[in-house]
Amino acid sequence: MQKAISKTHIKKDVKKKTSPLSIETIMAAKKHKAWLYVAKCLASPTRQYPSFNLHEIDAGSEDGDTVVIPGKVLGDGKVSKKIKIVAFSFSASALDKMKEAKVEGAYIIDEIKKNPEAKGVKLLR
């Protein structure tokens, strides 16, 4: 059984953040229950953010998926499926390879604004 995610704990951890983008993303995610796990991940120290290579994302997804990475997307490998990758940040090589493969990319804050209920979203952990 998973441990409950505490909004109070997230709020306390946000006070340690210095990046306005991080703070805005965490606060937006915290408002929606579907995005609460993402808020918890982003409220943790930056060095603990998960990172995924493109080949790992490709292996863990299917055509048409919207895949959320609560961390960084790295450029090792390639994507062969038509998916949308939503992440907190992207490496330059990942962006280039995604553009080559015609894979849509978006930042978490933008996806939260467009899809607050996280419908059709697949979270990679």
Query: What pTM was computed for the model?
Result: 0.93
Q: What is the pLDDT of residues 73-123, one digit of tens each?
A: 999 999 999 999 999 999 999 999 999 999 999 999 999 999 999 999 999
User: Would you say residue 56 lies in a domain?
Assistant: yes
Per-residue pLDDT band at 2 (split at 50, 70, 90): low
Say which CATH number the domain at 64 has: 3.100.10.10
Tally of domains in the chain: 1
On the question of pLDDT at 1 being above 60, the answer is: no
Q: What is the pLDDT of residues 5-38, one digit of tens each?
A: 999 999 999 999 999 999 999 999 999 999 999 9
Cβ contacts of 104 within 8 Å, gap of 6 or more? 83, 84, 85, 98
User: Would you say residue 105 lies in a domain?
Assistant: yes
What value does the mean pLDDT of the chain take?
95
User: Would you say residue 2 lies in a domain?
Assistant: no
User: Would you say residue 1 lies in a domain?
Assistant: no
User: Would you say residue 98 lies in a domain?
Assistant: yes
Q: Which domain holds residue 94?
A: 7-123
Mean pLDDT of 47-61: 96
87 to each of 2, 9, 12, 63, 125, how far by Cα in Å? 23, 22, 23, 18, 12
